[in-house]
Amino acid sequence: MEDSLSQKLSYLADKYETKSFLGKDPSQFMHNYTNDRDKEIAGFIAANLAFGRRDQILLHVKAILDCAGSSPADWIANGKFNDFFPNSGSSFYRMFSYKNMRLFCQTLSGILNTAGSLGNYFKQEYTKAIQQKDFAPPAHSGNPLLSSIISDSFPEECPVVAHGKDSACKKIHMFLRWMVRDNSPVDLGLWTDWYKKTDLLMPLDTHVMQQATELGLLPLTKTGKAAAASYKTAVALTDTLRQIFPDDPVRADFALFGLGVDK
């Protein structure tokens, strides 16, 4: 990789990974709580609704968390979400119905009542997978793919959480960036004691894919088209960015996303 591109991405990461980034980003909500359990739930809700227009994302996440009150984790665990999400096929946000959101919250409720917090639950499942060697090693490490463990914790009929081994799982990988990366004004670093930030994968959205392709970080297909967002593409881009940020490749998400939004 050319030094000029490496320097450009490092500069952009420094430029955008600041507290001001939170102002228009769904990651802002998890910073409103002092309890890690609530931060995790607020972050997970925000991440899984993070698609479409940013103003609409923020509006719908805020509506949920305003109803949840001071402890979204208790609101979920105690089943109070059922009043907010009736068993209706009407749209809540884009293609997600109230019924979809109700199933999403019901699954979260089961997780919280089983392990106390999202972090505890996914740590247990991750550790179990390592001990039982019950996983196909991802291309970039010999460890279980945490995004798959999270995805498999939700029923297939719950479209709010991405499913499929070939999926880019953008929303889950963004949530994991929030939970795992430390020493950041944006990301919380709550799970650094059991998951490595070197094992994170790039969240692939339109801005990131476009900028990565324009900068030559992702190759064009044989037909001259941009690569599709997929698990394979996320691994390839992350591996390339590891040349610039060897200990923290997903830090480049700030550079590519910020550059794309500014344009």
* pLDDT at res. 136: 63
Enumerate residues 6+ apart whose C-beta is below 8 A from 258. Answer: 12, 15, 16, 21
- pTM listed for this prediction: 0.94
- Residues 16-62 have pLDDT tens digits of 999 999 999 999 999 999 999 999 999 999 999 999 999 999 999 99
- Under 8 Å between Cβ of 7 and 255: no
Q: Per-residue pLDDT averaged across 60-83, rounded?
A: 98
Q: pLDDT at residue 140 above 80?
A: no
Neighbours of 143 (CB within 10 A): 16
First to last CA, the chain: 23
* pLDDT at res. 138: 62
Which residue blocks in 69-169 are alpha helix, DSSP H? 72-77, 81-84, 98-115, 118-132, 146-152
Q: Per-residue pLDDT averaged across 119-134, rounded?
A: 91
95-117 burial code (b ≥16 CB/10 A, e <16):
ebbbbbbbbbbbbbbebbeeeeb
Cα separation, 202 vs 175, whole angstroms: 11
Give 228's pLDDT tier (boundaries 50, 70, 90).
Answer: confident
* pLDDT at res. 108: 98
